[in-house]
Chain A
Amino acid sequence: MAYIDDSHDMISTHAREARVEDYLALLKPRVMSLVVFTALVGMIVAPVAVHPFVGVVAICCIAIGAGASGALNMWYEADIDAIMSRTANRPIPGGRMVRDDALVFGVILAAFSVGLLGLATNWVAAGLLAFTIFFYAVVYTIWLKRATPQNIVIGGAAGAFPPMVGWAAMTGQVSLDAVALFLIIFLWTPPHFWALALYKKSDYAAAGIPMMPNVAGERSTQNQIMVYSVLLTLVAFTPVLTGLVGWFYAVPATILGVGFSALALRLRMAEGAEMRRRARTLFVYSLYYLFILFLALLADVGIIRWFGAV
């Protein structure tokens, strides 16, 4: 277990007096935006409506909770962040903040977001949010990430919880529909990150993170991406089976899923530089996939709500 050494030059006046912007960077705003979006969809498609103000507070709590996870992640990962090009300029490896400040910031935000969500909505949602933060910061970041190539498969659960938290904030419980939303993001995560890991392989190797391409090889990773893509395409239909949505969701889900699987197959058939190019294509596609799929969920529920069942 590699800790960064706090005793060397990082404790300078500079790092002790971090700027507000550096604290905001700890929240991983880009990850937060995806969390806010999926959680918001979970809240809106839930069959119970709460007062709009309560809804706004709930989404803020989920966003801050996600930010807390990001801060705790950066507190722990400062050593490997310093090695990878993508993360070398984060506040701690960039020498603009001391590690302890990130830890304190993360813990305080986590406590406040969970407490406020519980008071504003219910303690099922708050408990789920607390578990999500714990899962990302401890189970994924501290335990799995450096230990096993299955890191992002299991860690993917952390990213899959937000729509469930949103659903629970509205309804006070976790239903089959919420589990369906969870499963979609859960199965989406491995092909998404393994595509990234395929074309950023050397970065992960340098940092010593056991990503699948580095451990099991590129061919095996391509095969596993293929399997998860097909599973994802099928599981994307569970919201139809639970009766949450109908055709307006099913059609785009089919098209998007076929596209996902086709890109995974194309990736499987390539090697070398061409393979890395296709991996990048799949990575970008996967982002659009999730975004459009959840938009389709929203659109379908909206149509059913305003015009009755189609």
Chain B
Amino acid sequence: MAPVQLSDEEIKARRRKRSIAIGLALGALVVIFYVLTIVKMGPAVFDRPL
């Protein structure tokens, strides 16, 4: 397939969309790790030598 040259605006738009997707994925990971910690350990999270 012949390569299509993209305009600068189109490139920027794609990068922006990729950044948003990566941001959402990272955000989801943060939430998952937070909730998993609570679910799996519960109050025992605090039960450790400080």
Contacts and interface: CB of A to CB of B under 8 A. Distances in A.
Contacts of A18: 14
A93 B1 CA distance: 8
B40 A54 contact: yes
Interface residues of B, number: 19
A48 to B, nearest CB: 15
B21 interface: yes
B3 to A, nearest CB: 3
B3 A95 contact: yes
Nearest to A24: B21
Contact of B11 (A13, A23, A51): A13
Q: State the main secondary structure of chain A at its contact with B.
A: helix
Contacts of A120: 32, 36, 40
A305 B2 CA distance: 58
A17 B3 contact: no
Q: Which of B2, B29, B40 counts the most chain A CB atoms within 10 A?
A: B40
Contacts, number: 53
B17 A51 contact: no
Q: State the main secondary structure of chain B at its contact with A.
A: helix
A18 B15 CA distance: 9
Interface in B8-32: 10-11, 14-15, 17-18, 21, 29, 32
A17 B39 contact: no
B35 A12 contact: no
A57 B29 CA distance: 10
A277 B10 CA distance: 45
Contact of B32 (A14, A95, A116): A116
A13 B14 CA distance: 11
Nearest to A18: B14
Given A53-B36, A116-B32, A120-B36, A12 B17 contact: no
Contacts of A9: 2-3
Given A19-B17, A20-B17, A94-B1, A14 B39 contact: no
A57 B39 CA distance: 12
Nearest to A52: B39
A250 interface: no
Given A12-B3, A12-B5, A20 B18 contact: yes
Given A10-B3, A12-B3, A54 B39 contact: yes
Interface string A1-22: 0000000011011110111100
Interface of B: 1-6, 10-11, 14-15, 17-18, 21, 29, 32, 35-36, 39-40
Leading 5 A-B pairs by shortest Cβ distance: A12-B3, A95-B1, A14-B4, A17-B14, A20-B21
Given A13-B11, A20-B17, A95-B3, 9 more contacts: A17-B6, A17-B10, A19-B17, A20-B18, A23-B18, A51-B40, A54-B36, A93-B1, A120-B40
